[in-house]
Amino acid sequence: MSFAFYNPTGGFFERVHPVSKLISLIAAFVPPFFGTEPVEILPYFALLFFAALLARAGSNIVRVYKLMIILFVMSIVLWTFFYKGQTPVYRIGPLVIMKESLLYGITIGIRLNCFVLAAIIFLTCTPIEDFTYGLSKLGIPFVVSFALTLAFRLTPLFIETGQAIVIAQRARGLDIDSGGILRRIRNYVPIIVPVLASGLRRADQLSVALESRGFGKSKKRSVVSEFPVTWRDYTLMSVIFMAGALMGLYRLA
């Protein structure tokens, strides 16, 4: 079972130049800020959702849908409390819920989910190596960009190790969900210690393995993959630019 997000399909998004992908990702974060009401931001969310389906990111969305729901609900709850409105819509005991607060919470919830969707599309269509390459082409030294993307390489391995350790400790009678809060926190010690120990060990082994393959020998580096700039790059960036421009103009109008 693989825990990585990258899903090689060879489709439209995957064949975009890594630098274009990174720029597009950053650009895709901008339009949501133009929407201040659900109606204004929903079309953009729909566009991203459609793009995610095109990019075959469906299975990755299924993996994070709980996070997306939590973000959405938390945002509504928080802004209902902290954003001041004028029009009362509901009254629960002493608590009055204002229409403006509720709408703002929903907007921010959708905005956050737009970020999640954009990131998922990027991770689904970008091998880690291309991510690293893109960052280094944007001026970040290779060693630094490699270290930055290492988290994405190692997280799936950490999850796998964690699962194996949970099984091993359950075999020794550990019931993670038993007891009160303090007890539950303590229950995690037998899992966290081996996970950290194996993480440190792996980091050690990896650093040796990397240097044995010449990592960091020189600042210059060649690349085996070829990244031609094609119509896909222009199309992707144009779509994002147009979406942003439309939303910006609507906002101004």
DSSP one-letter code for 33? G
Site for other proteins (CB under 8 A): which residue of 2, 62, 92, 180? 2
> Quick check: 216 binds other proteins (CB under 8 A)?
yes
Strands (E), the chain: 88-92, 95-98
Burial of 31 (0-12, 13-18, 19+ CB in 10 A): buried
Token duo for residue 161: 């190790």
> Quick check: 215 binds other proteins (CB under 8 A)?
yes
> Quick check: 1 binds other proteins (CB under 8 A)?
yes
Provide the sign of the torsion angle of the four alpha carbons 49, 54, 59, 60, taken in this order: negative
Is residue 107 within 8 A of residue 41, CB to CB? The reply is yes
Is residue 98 within 8 A of residue 61, CB to CB? The reply is no
> Quick check: 224 binds other proteins (CB under 8 A)?
yes
Token duo for residue 229: 């700039």
Count of residues that bind other proteins according to CB under 8 A: 52
Tell me the window of 25-33, 43-51, 64-72, 153-161 that interacts with other proteins (CB under 8 A).
Answer: 153-161
Q: Least distance from C-beta 199 to other proteins, angstroms?
A: 11
Site for other proteins (CB under 8 A): which residue of 67, 138, 208, 249? 208
Q: Least distance from C-beta 41 to other proteins, angstroms?
A: 33
> Quick check: 29 binds other proteins (CB under 8 A)?
no
> Quick check: 174 binds other proteins (CB under 8 A)?
yes
> Quick check: 173 binds other proteins (CB under 8 A)?
yes
Provide the sign of the torsion angle of the four alpha carbons 236, 237, 238, 244, taken in this order: positive
> Quick check: 36 binds other proteins (CB under 8 A)?
no
SS3 for 227? coil
Is residue 111 within 8 A of residue 35, CB to CB? The reply is yes
C-alpha–C-alpha distance, residues 212 and 122, integer Å: 31
> Quick check: 161 binds other proteins (CB under 8 A)?
yes
> Quick check: 193 binds other proteins (CB under 8 A)?
yes
Give residues 110-129 in contact with other proteins (rule: CB under 8 A).
127-129
CA atoms within a 13 Å half-sphere pointing along the CA-CB vector of 113: 31
Give residues 38-97 in contact with other proteins (rule: CB under 8 A).
none
Tell me the window of 36-44, 114-122, 162-170, 232-240 that interacts with other proteins (CB under 8 A).
Answer: 162-170
The residues binding other proteins (CB under 8 A) are 1-2, 4, 6, 8, 127-129, 153, 157, 161, 164-165, 167-175, 189-190, 193-194, 197-198, 201-202, 204-218, 220-226
